[in-house]
Amino acid sequence: MVRIADQIGAHIFQGSGVLISPDEVLTASYVVYQTGLGTATNIDVTPAFSSGTAPFGHAAVAYPRSPKAHYHEFSCLRVP
């Protein structure tokens, strides 16, 4: 499980996802894209985030791979 924090327009969002490979995170598309607001920027992925701690650090994601999926679909994030 990972914590995802990002910015869409002027709004800050938080969500969750799961690691599906060492460098990919699967999440709901609405975590990284909102109709009318656009695609997320400043995406930060933190694995095993708990009570403000990040035991494995965090990573910035440049761009979601499938940002404009429909509301009930998924998006995949590539973690560098």
Query: Is the pLDDT confidence value at 67 over 90?
Result: no
More confident residue, 66 or 79: 79
Q: What's the confidence (pLDDT) of residue 68?
A: 59
d(CA 75, CA 52): 25
d(CA 68, CA 35): 8
At 3-20, the pLDDT tens digits run: 999 999 899 999 999 999
pTM of this structure: 0.85
Mean pLDDT of 69-73: 62
Q: What's the confidence (pLDDT) of residue 72?
A: 61
Query: Is the pLDDT confidence value at 63 over 80?
Result: no
Instruction: Please report where in the chains the tokens 């894209």 appear, as a residue.
Output: 33
Domain ranges of the chain: 2-78
Mean pLDDT of 48-55: 93
Measuring CA to CA, which residue among 5, 76, 10, 79 is closest to residue 38? 10
Q: Say if residues 4 and 67 touch (Cβ distance below 8 Å).
A: no
2-78 CATH choice from 2.40.10.10, 1.10.443.10, 3.10.20.600, 1.25.40.10: 2.40.10.10
